[in-house]
Each structure stands twice: as C-alpha cells, then as structure tokens.
Amino acid sequence: MIEFRYLQPEDAVIAAAIHIEGQPGTVLTLLGHRFLVELYRAVCMSEWGEGIGAFDNGELVAQTAMAVSSEKFFAEFKWRYLWRVAGPVALAILRHPKIISHVIAGWNYAEQTHSPEREGDVIFLGVKRDYLRQGLAPDLVRHMFGWADAIGLTSANFMIEKRNRPIRWMISQLNNLYIAHEFQAYGREMLLYKVPIKDNLETAQVPQGQPHTPAHVYPVDYISLPYNPKPCTGARLAAGLLSLILAMLSSLHIYWAFGGTWGTKQVIPTTDNHQSLLFPSPAMTLSVAGALGAAMLTVWGRLGWLWGNPIPKWLFRGGMWGLGTIFLGRAIGDFKRVGFFKQVRQTEFAYWDSRLFSPLCLLLSWLAFIANRD
C-alpha cells in the first residue's frame, strides 16, 4: 500500500540514497551522501522548503523536494547548515577537482532559475529503481501541486537536463507548461519549465500527515520583501565574545609595536637552540594589529552594527567564513613548529603554543563559525 506523506528529518538518509541512485554523476551527488542528508534535513526543517515521499509499508521508495522560495531556502541553508558539511564538501572537491567551478556556480542557484516570489522550484524528483514504471512520479507531482496550492504558490518550476527525455515527457503531460528559458548549469544544457498550479488542480491531492516544519503560506495580497537573515541570539553572543578577543589581541599588538616587551619571548617561534625564527618590525606588528581590527569590524558588520545597507550582507558572511578558516588553519599549524601537530615541542614558544595559542585559535575559529549562523 503506497502512502504519500510529508518527509521528516529522519527520512533524509534514505532520501539522499534515492537522490544518488537517480542522479549518478551530477554535482550534488558528487558532493556526497553526507551533504545530501543535510540538504534533505534542511528541506524538512525550513519553512522555505518541503519534501513529499511515497512510502510502501513505511519504506520511502520515491520522493520530491521543493523550495518554496529558492532565494530564501538556499540563503538559509548556506548560513545555517553549511558549516556541517564544509568538511565533506572539501573532501569531495579533493576527490573530484573538476567540480569546483560547478560548486561555485551552484552557490547562486536562485540566480539560475530567476524564480520570483510565489513560484516554487523543484529541487529533485526521484523513484527507487525497483519502483520505476509504477506511476509514482506523476502521483508525487499531483501531491506536490495539492500542497503548493494550499500554501499559495502559483507555479512549480522544473529545472531539467535537456537530454533527460523521460522526465521531459512526464511533465509534458501537465497543463499549460512552458519553457521559461534555456541555460548552462553544472556543465549541462538545462531547461527551466514553468507549470501553473491552478491549471493542474483537477487531480491534485494533499499529502497525508503533518510536515515537520509547516511551509511558509503566501496570502493572496502578498508583497515581496527583501530577505536579510540576521544572527540568532547564540550567534550574537559568540560574535560578541569573538570581537572582544580580537580587540584585545589587536591592542596587544599595538602595545608591542610601540616598544612593549611583556610576552614577546613567548610568542616568537624559536629553534631548539632558542634562536628566534621571526624578527617582526614595528610596521609588521602594526599591520597584524590592523588585520585583527579589520577582523573585528567584519564581525560587527555581520551583526549589522556598521554602515547600514550599502555593503552587501554576503560580504560579511563570506568574511566570517574566511576568519573561521584562517584561525582553524593556525590551530592545525604547519606540522613543524606551530599548531597542535607540531614536531618541535621543547621550546618555550612550543609550551605556550600547545597550552594557549593553538587552543585560542581553535576557539576563535569555532566562535566565527557559530557567529555566522542565522
């Protein structure tokens, strides 16, 4: 007995497996199972996404995922969930270096579809191999339309590879669909089909059960407003602590640049014979102080404390990812004299690096990633 109901976060593992089976070799599949699991969890847990599945005696055998608003869903995914998959994505790029250009292009997915408000984009539609040719895909589309009409969407948009004739034939049975535009994405020729919801409601049905997070409902007189996600309370606390530490470190470097000597012996890497490996000039020390000050301003910009709206918000979000990555790299070190994995451990610098400097950098990295969450 096949049932059509809303996907739940615990269905994400099977949903990811169906995606990989249905689209082998695509960019999302190459990014790995862990990435897709987080993507489908986000679909279930965001008001800007929804998943609908076909279940055979409780087993997920087909599923579709849709973004209520691609702009808002992927903005939320990038800044709320991406930190969970940064590692697996990096490993996937190392395994398949050629996909990096497609990953960069996919960063602005919403700009590829150009879907305005109240037009939902279908992220994926797939059926397990053993259940093909049983009509599950058209049934999923009918349930998708029932749900989409209930929340006030006016169109369902399908981005389909031009050479994928079976899917193109399936949606060609829908009423009044048309090709909005043709474009290149992920190295493939793609077509964007738009299907009016109101013209396909005769056989539409609403999925069973309740969604984990109800999707955003558009009122009839909805007016589009700009979407600017702001950090949550925990992120603001992390950002406050991060900016305080950065301000203290910047002040300490200014103190050293103007002749201060406290702590200077402990912060310079040395050889086993206690000979300094670095001889920073006052100008170099001031430049480090300036960089730390700029990092603090980046944190403030992420919180919305600086410059109002002229500077794009993505610039500060990207800066926060950069800060987190830089401090994480410093904590890991060069595997010789700096960081947790250094080989030289008998010097005074190594003593303080293991107990203070590297742990502090790890803390700053963690705070930067947390502060960047919405």
Q: What is the DSSP letter of 38?
A: H
- Tokens 């994480």 — which residue? 328
User: Tokens standing for 361?
Assistant: 């950098």
Q: What's the longest Cα–Cα distance across the chain?
A: 84
Cα-trace Rg, the chain: 25
User: What whole-number distance in Å separates Cα of residue 257 and Cα of residue 289?
Assistant: 9
Instruction: Catalogue all structural domains in the chain, each as residue range(s) with its CATH number.
Output: 2-200 (3.40.630.30), 233-371 (no CATH)
Q: List, for residues 239-290, the tens digit of each pLDDT value.
A: 888 988 999 999 999 999 998 888 888 888 877 777 777 788 889 999 999 9
End-to-end CA distance of the chain: 41
Which tens digits make up the pLDDT trace of 112-151? 677 888 899 999 999 999 998 899 999 999 999 999 999 9
Cross-strand bridge partners of residue 159: 192
**Is 228's pLDDT higher than 60?**
no
Residue 178 burial (C-beta neighbours within 10 Å; 0-12, 13-18, 19+): exposed
Q: Is the pLDDT reported for residue 234 higher than 80?
A: no
- The model's pLDDT over 46-73, given as tens digits with 9 standing for 90+, comes to 999 999 999 999 999 999 999 999 888 8
CB–CB of 2/110 below 8 Å?
no
Residue 77 pLDDT:
84
CB 11 within 8 A of CB 114: no
